[in-house]
Structure 1
Amino acid sequence: MTSPSPSPRTTTPANVVVFGPGANCTLAICPVELSTYKYRPSLGANAVLLALFFVAMNIHVYLGLRWRTWWFMVFMMVGCGAEIIGYVGRILLYTNPFSYAGFLIQVIFITGGPAFYSAAIYILLSVTIEHLASDLSRIKPVFFYWMFIAADLVCIALQASGGALSTVSLGASQTGVKVALAGLALQVVVLFIFCLSFADYMIRYFLSSGSAGKRPITARMRVFFGFLSLAVLCILGRCSYRCYELSQGYRDSDVITNEGLFIGLEGVLIVVSVFALIVAHPGRVFGCQDQVALESTGRCAEDMSEK
């Protein structure tokens, strides 16, 4: 009795390399089910996401120049730029789902991009404390900035090195998967600690009665806090999804082959967070306050007097 022949939809043609630097598969000779993602990425969805990140990047650059929020602008610009490059990789995968270059580009840049948004968000804690009442903070505001930024750099390094290890091993390295997963998990932990630190300060602010120079929370600041919270929740949701996706590895994951989940929980959530940070832009609340020195220019003083 002869054993059944493998399905033609999952059989690798002779003399063909499916994945890696020497991959020579194309849709003309290989079924898409043999590709890493087992689907052909949607051109329309990925092009729309690319366009939205391009629009958001230009808005953030304009607002950064307008309000002189240099470091916030730089982090948002780099994050959006990374997303744009990443979605170019996704479009390359639409052209050829077996493209090793497309896979590398989207894994590195889409995975790492949101860490820069986290860095931009961390700036806002120290600026908010300095604006409302710095004497109510348990530690100096600038320490929050450097603590969270340093932790964020570790997250980026872990995610990048884990992705590189997995790619070099053609997806077979569990070490690479574990390192990248550690980077994503650490990003979730750091964001959670950030939320606790922000909540702790705000509780101390509302309970205080005799702080010198304590400023009231205006309607504009309430909008700022609302959209900042939305951005943080979106990034937390995205990181949780990517942790679950990566926990199954690159080769055996059912989640990684579901483009709908990717578009919704990676693309849409991050787009929402980027545009939420346009509404919650620090310049709209704090004027053109420098994000590192926490000093104001003459124009800032004019902006603040108008609030």
Structure 2
Amino acid sequence: MSTGLPSGVPPNVKVFGPGANCTLDICPVEMSVYGYRPDLAANITFLSLYLISATIHVYLGFRWKTWFFMGCMVFGAINAVLGYAGRIVMYYNPFNFAAFMVQIICITSGPVYYSAAIYVTLAAAIKYFSPSLSRFQPNLFYWIFIPCDVVCLIFQAVGGALSTASAGTSRIGVDMALVGLSLQVIVMVAFCAFFADYLIRYFRAGSTERFGIRCKLFFGFMALAIVLILVRCSYRLVELRNGYRGDLIRDEPIFIGLEGVMVIAAVFCLMISHPGFVFKSNVKGDDTESSTREYELHESPSVISSSI
């Protein structure tokens, strides 16, 4: 009687799930959930880059006392390190279900922390430059967008947990992860719209010439980080649409480019656009001191830094 398994594969093997007992010795890699062995060099590279980024963000966090921003960046890096460690384990055994679930949960939910860092930093920028030009109190950005970000994280984490409990067979877990990713995109686009409205009002007020090089780098790389994260989230939405058996989830080069490269590039963009370089730059008397002093400062730098 046919078992539906390729020739040479024992009849009692389990390919996917908590009790998976396939190994490369008895099962072809094409039978695994990804259909390939994760690239060892690429995953070691990403893991190393996240460790480096976490180290630098810890230094910058203590240097400028930007505790919330540092915490978000470090937690995001820890998630990524765990995720890529899981993919490294899967290089040696692509059928390792525990490693699969660790990497799917950690890599999928990691950018939520970076989104939170962006929301708080740009809200603090409104306080720092000219809060009177904002249509809303800057604190509302904290109270609206950070809770939404937490909800995104919960949906993605719970979705991954449900997938683990069902050995990836339940559609509910995948759908919850999709809801979390969709909400993350919607929230980030909404935030960008509000902040773009603020910048337009700010420039119309005649403050464009006051932007020093640090401010241009800050907003430029912050905007680039947002675009990179949005591209990545859009890719994951399409990837998970067909669950763990779709074609896109089995395409590693696309994963490396649209997940790995997009997110680590965003992390280093957020390093260049670190809030300390702008909000604390006038303390050092550097090239932006003359311009930042002209801004309509309604709160001291110490108050601003306490919120990021």
TM-score, length basis structure 2? 0.88
Contact 2:9–2:26 under 8 Å retained in 1: no
SS in 1 for 2:210: coil
- CA 280–46 in structure 1, closer or farther in 2 if over 3 Å, else same: same
1:284 to 277, 297, 301: 277
In structure 1, the partner of 2:38 is 41
Deviates more, 1:160-169 or 1:198-207: 160-169
Q: Does residue 226 of structure 1 match 2:220?
A: yes
Supply the RMSD in Å over aligned alpha carbons.
Answer: 2.3
What percentage of residue pairs aligned between the two structures are identical? Answer: 52
Cα separation, 2, equivalents of 1:197 and 1:12: 57
Partners of 2:122 and 2:2 lie apart in 1 by: 63
Helix, strand or coil for the counterpart of 1:24? coil
* Mapped partners of 1:148, 1:6: distance in 2: 49
Following superposition, the deviation at residue 5 of structure 1 comes to: 10
Q: Which residue of 2 aligns with 1:197?
A: 194
Aligned partner letter, 1:246: L
Give SS of 2:224's match: helix
Instruction: Decide whether aligned partners of structure 1 residues 4 and 175 sit closer, same or farther in structure 2, where only a CA change above 3 A counts.
Output: closer
**Which of the residues 1, 13, 18 maps onto 1:16?**
13
Letter in structure 2 aligned against 1:70: W
Indicate the larger mover: 164-173 or 26-35: 164-173
Deviation at 1:215, TM superposition (A): 9.9
| Structure 1 residues not aligned, in runs of 5+ | 301-307
Q: Secondary structure of the equivalent of 1:256?
A: helix
Which consecutive residues of structure 2, in runs of 5 or more, have no partner in the other structure?
Answer: 283-298
- For residues 219 and 88 of structure 1, what CA distance do their matches in structure 2 show? 38
Count of aligned pairs between the two proteins: 288
Which whole-Å deviations, capped at 9, do the CAs of 1:119-152 have from their partners, x for residues lacking one?
0000122111011101111111111122111100
Which residue of 2 is the match for residue 304 of structure 1? none
Structure-to-structure mapping, 1:1-307, within 5 angstroms: 8=6, 12-208=9-205, 216-251=210-245, 253-287=246-280, 295-297=300-302
Deviates further, 272-281 or 200-209: 200-209
Higher normalized helix content (fraction of residues): 2
Q: Measure the CA separation in 1 of the matches of 2:165 and 2:13.
A: 19
Query: Could you say what secondary structure the match of 1:23 adopts?
Result: coil
C-alpha deviation, 1:57, in angstroms: 0.7
Match of 1:305 in 2: none
Residue 99 and residue 6 in structure 1: after superposition, are their counterparts in 2 closer, same or farther (change >3 A)? closer
Find the aligned partners of 1:265 and 1:243 in 2 and give their Cα distance.
12
- Alpha-carbon distance in 1 for matches of 2:10, 2:300: 64
